[in-house]
Amino acid sequence: MADVFKLYMTGDLVLDEPQADTFFDPARAMLAEADLLIGHVEVPHTTRGVESIGDIPAPASDPENLRAMGRAGFHMASLAGNHIHDRGAEGITDTIANLTGQGIVSAGAGLTLADARRPALASRAGKRVGLLSYNCVGPREGWAGPKNAGCAYLKIISHYEPEGANPGGPPKVYTFADPDTVEAMQRDIAALRDQVDVLVVALHKGVVHTPAHIAMYETAVSRAAIDAGADIVIGHHAHITRGVEIWRGKPIFHGLGNFITVTRALSVEGNASPERRAWAERRKVLFGFEPLPDYPLYPFHPESRNGMVAACHIAADGTISAGFRPLWMLPGGQPQPLGHDDKGREVADYIIGITRKAGFKTGFAWDGNRVVFDAA
């Protein structure tokens, strides 16, 4: 139908290789279908600043690489995440300026917390879209404050309770969001609600490199965003796809996984940084996987090759048809859109399976090349 507004949203973008345009090529036609396209920028793009402390910083990426986003048709970008402050205020300033120069509006990071909590606004094809972006993971040194640069955030608290009579044994992990930060997010949503037709909240959340798992806090904060007035919640950070659900008639994509995440910073071989090389070794033990040797630019969990782009169709009356386009990651780190064919059904079945494993009662059906979902 001509009056359907197509809103597409991708997972993480780590453009850490030259000739960045080539990584978008297989997906370019699919991205062009969108009336409005949102992506998540994971790392700062700058030649300035000093690497931050508090975690294993990602290397800053060449500002030229980020310009491939505009040429791929993106209109909005979320920035709140655990790496956007890895080159300090200079990195945030340069990344936002780069996006702005391409006509891409951004949310989630700034020189103060007020800046980071400010929404991104865009009007396309007669729809006003608002985007808010929050980080749920560390390091705390990257969280913005009243007078310091960083990202907007939700503070998450972890509690570890031993199971049975085995102190020191495998615990049950309880995670909760600090109520003050959830209420701040909900105030931001309420303030934005009447200014837009579609309100998207992006949450950088989840346990990395772990198939299917959704931590306790993730469902709670996602639903809190819907309860406050958000129309769509999207997640990223885990570098692997998560399940989907419908809450109060609105879609939650708990993890869009990777879109284009090409980097050598997480590889063991040829890694010039001792800290990043040590982390690349340690995460294999922590999360129990080996990167695939024929994916040299994509050092992630083998199951993360199953991917998706959120593809929501919004009717003139605001009704949302929630769905996704299945993706398969190619060995060169390029996401390949799939249709209603054998490979597309295989990826869709993977997403249906992890949704079921997470305990969500979601129904799925094919609509052309899109998989649509609703409350079962």
Place of tokens 């080159």: 87
User: Does the structure show a pLDDT above 70 at 365?
Assistant: yes
pLDDT of residue 3: 85
pLDDT of residue 269: 84
Which among 372, 335, 319, 229 is positioned nearest to 14, based on CA atoms?
Answer: 335
pLDDT of residue 69: 98
User: Does the structure show a pLDDT above 80 at 53?
Assistant: no
| Residues whose CB is less than 8 angstroms from the CB of residue 50 and which lie 6 or more positions away in sequence, other chains included | 87, 88
**What is the phi-psi region of residue 327: left when phi exceeds 0, alpha when psi lies from -120 to 50, beta otherwise?**
beta
Domain 5-375 has CATH 3.60.21.10: yes
pLDDT of residue 2: 56
Q: What would the pLDDT profile of 200-212 be if each residue is shown by its tens digit? A: 999 999 999 999 9
Q: How far apart are CA 140 and CA 143, in angstroms?
A: 5
Cα 348 → chain centroid: 19
User: Does the structure show a pLDDT above 50 at 274?
Assistant: yes
pLDDT band at 164 (very low <50, low <70, confident <90, very high): confident
Strands 36-41 and 76-78: parallel
User: Does the structure show a pLDDT above 50 at 68?
Assistant: yes
Which H, E and C letters describe 50-97, residue by residue? CCCCCCCCCCCECHHHHHHHHHCCCCEEECCCCCCCCCHHHHHHHHHH
Where are the chain's structural domains? 5-375
**Mean per-residue pLDDT of the chain:** 96
pLDDT of residue 1: 44
b vs e for 149-178, b when ≥16 Cβ sit within 10 Å of the residue's Cβ? bbbbbbbbeeeeeeeeeeeeeeeeeebebe
Q: How far apart are CA 307 and CA 337, in angstroms?
A: 9
- Give the mean pLDDT of 260-269: 91
